[in-house]
Amino acid sequence: MSNFTIYNTLSRKKEIFEPINPGHVGMYVCGPTVYGEAHLGHSRPAITFDVLFRYLKYLGYKVRYVRNITDVGHLVNDADEGEDKIARKAKVEELEPMEIVQRYTNSYRQNMLQLNVLSPSIEPTASGHMIEQIAVVQKIIDSGFGYEKNGSVYFDVEKYSSVHNYGTLSGRKIEDLYFNTRDLDAQPEKKSGLDFALWKKAAPEHIMRWPSPWGDGFPGWHTECTAMSTKYLGEPFDIHGGGLDLLFPHHEAEIAQGVACFGHEPVRYWMHNNLITINGQKMGKSLGNFIMLDELFTGSHPLLEKAYSPACIRFFILQAHYRSPLDFSNEALQAAEKGLERLFNATALLEGLQPSADSTIDVGALKEKCTLAMNDDLNTPILIAHLFDGVKMINSVSDGKASVNTADLERLKTIYSDFVVGILGLRPEILTGGSADNELLGNVVDLLLNLRIEAKKNKDWATCDKIRNNLTELGFEIKDTKEGFGWTLKK
């Protein structure tokens, strides 16, 4: 179908992507825990796998994209033992846990919409799949790799390791893990410190609880992803994505659970996006550099010099490869903002371009390069570099320094609508003289600029400058051209 390669964390190599069922792709990505507003860190996996989703569809695959919503908080790690993370927040705000869940789910979806992240095919909630999770736990017990103790169920890592390899995804060795495991409260209950929880008994103060064969409790963190991914995608399924921070223990545990349940690896391709740092530092609440997406869009955070549009954030993220670390700074964001404007201006200019008899630009090669970049493990920075080469072509044609024939012009338009809008998901946020969505405004601006042309003929520079300066103040960008004028307005 194509030579689309993706880097598989499991093999630590780029592999040609071949779906299990020809023409169909099943992908699962770890979604948000809805106990707070979405922050900058949430945007990267969402955008990375949105681009993957879009590109797979562009390649002609029918894609089922499952991204979960974790609405069952578990234990908070330090002071408030035995208290559910969501329940804790509920007490603080005097809201029902499910009210919190609803509120932040809505907020997350709103942010995703702003970032032009497409809705997944299925967005399952952990609380809505309790039966499936209990079934997974039971299946693991039946396989001999899980054991119950005091109403909790744990995964027997040692026993698993005697038959299978544990640690293949993260490169960890079981011997090393023995010496590097923190001492945790429930340690005495477990056979080994390496074991992880499949089901936890709920303490009396724990609000979110469900009945199970082992008593009232709640599922372990890793259980939900195994239950929901395989319910909707089968096993094995094609692609599992998530942030690098989830690689261990979460994804490692998912593999072990999958093998225990099904007798084989649950996932063909594991993909991990890298994280975002701020001014070279990790994001942390204690560091005061935790920026929420809403703050980013409005500029209301001490670290922000200005507001940045969702498209700007999206472009900024896509200018780096998803597996590379990315450092956030005002300087970098503003550079991205200007670059994006250049890209959008050319994309708008493309619509009004006049074809000639001959082409002096190589549109075919451009498309080829764009496809190669995306096929190379979603190399969006390279794609963007090629799109900027195209910007130069478009501007040159517009300036009359190059020409394009009718067929090439159509192909060029297709490249920009496919790659910029369709795959990168960047919606041009500008109005131009040719755009129809606000005809009245366009006509008024045209009228003013025609008056300016007349003033220009009379060498009435004062009137000329007044019209231009006032329109500039209102946010319009005025360009003098050979034919007359051109203008754009950022939305």
Site residues for RNA, 251-270, by CB under 7 A, read: 253
Binding to RNA in span 24-53, by CB under 7 A: 33
Q: In angstroms, what is the minimal distance from the CB of 160 to RNA?
A: 10
Q: Using the rule CB under 7 A, which residue among 185, 305, 410, 454 binds RNA?
A: 185
Nearest distance from C-beta of residue 112 to RNA, angstroms: 16
Nearer residue to RNA within complex by CB, 59 or 385: 385
Interface residues for RNA in 353-412 (CB under 7 A)? 379, 381-382, 384-385, 388-389, 391-392, 395-396, 398-399, 401
Find the binding residues for RNA in span 215-244 (CB under 7 A).
Answer: 220-221, 224, 244
Which positions from 455 through 474 interact with RNA, judged by CB under 7 A?
A: 456, 461, 464-465, 468
Distance CA 491, CA 485 (A): 20
Decide whether 122 or 247 has the Cβ nearer to RNA.
247
Binding window for RNA (CB under 7 A); candidates: 47-55, 94-102, 163-171, 422-430:
163-171
Q: Is 376 left (phi over 0), alpha (psi -120 to 50) or beta?
A: beta
Residue 248 near RNA by CB under 7 A:
yes
CB atoms within 10 A of CB 287: 11
Least distance to RNA, CB of residue 62, Å = 29
Tokens 């562009």: give the residue.
Answer: 58
Instruction: Kindly state the tokens that stand for 330.
Output: 């005002």
**Residue nearer to RNA on the CB measure, 114 or 170:** 170
Does 324 participate in binding RNA (rule CB under 7 A)?
yes
Helix (H, G, I), strand (E, B), or coil: what is residue 298?
helix
CA angle 294, 345, 352 (to 5 degrees): 135
Among 50, 132, 195, 295, binds RNA (CB under 7 A): 195
- Residue 336 near RNA by CB under 7 A: yes
Does residue 73 belong to the site contacting RNA (CB under 7 A)? Answer: yes
- From 93-101, 226-234, 305-313, 337-345, give the range in contact with RNA by CB under 7 A: 337-345
| C-beta separation of 89 from 208 below 8 A | no
